Amino acid sequence: MRVLVLLGPPGAGKGTQAESFARSRGIPRISTGDVLRQVARAGAEADRKARALMDAGHLVDDDTVIGIVRERLAAADAARGFVLDGFPRTLVQAEALDLLLDDREPLVIVDIEVPDETLAQRLRGRLVCQGCGTPATVGMQACGKCGGTLAPRTDDEFAVVQQRLKVYAAQSRPIVEYYRRRPTFRSVDGDQPQEAVAADIAAAVASVVWGRQ
């Protein structure tokens, strides 16, 4: 059973890489960001508050996110393994994840490193389906999942982009240091074509799983 955590700042390509890695290995990609965007569209008061936080570039509170992950990891399709995308984002969440996975194999952690200038350019150009919330790849005219209309993400406006990178530096980057001393931690260069990043992630995971260096 394999458990992979993909780390990296907003715009690093975690979602694309997590989806590709999970699909190729027949395990689920678990994205807390996608789940939160879906529930926020439902209209409940708590969900609207979560959406407002995301639209402003802030993180949703730890208890809410940890609860979502705990419930998702208990699902049957996660028994063989999974890829976590967007979790953990704080040290509290990282510590909670260790407790949640206490009886599973050790985490494989891969950090995708990308310069801030590249991140800002990427974030300002992202689209998302207005119907199902699925992220779109460059050049798509409609959602590849449901055919819905694409529009820029509300949390990718310029001021929000700057805020998100600031929040990442303050709250999420310390997680890299939390994991860095573990023998299952690896980092890859995310400032290259998607195929090259995917190959580097696969090699990084292989070096942990099979002891290759």
Q: Which residues are catalytic?
A: 14, 89, 126, 153, 164
* Alpha carbon distance 89, 175 (integer Å): 7
Q: What does the alpha-carbon distance between residue 145 and residue 119 come to, in Å, rounded to a whole number?
A: 25
**Whole-angstrom distance, CA of residue 54 vs CA of residue 48:** 10
Going by C-alpha positions, the residue among 26, 17, 6, 2 that lies closest to residue 196 is 17
**H/E stretch holding 128:** strand 127-129
7: CB partners within 8 A, 6+ apart: 14, 109, 110, 111, 112, 172, 175, 176, 179
Q: Which helix (H) or strand (E) holds 204?
A: helix 194-209
- CA distance from start to end of the chain: 21
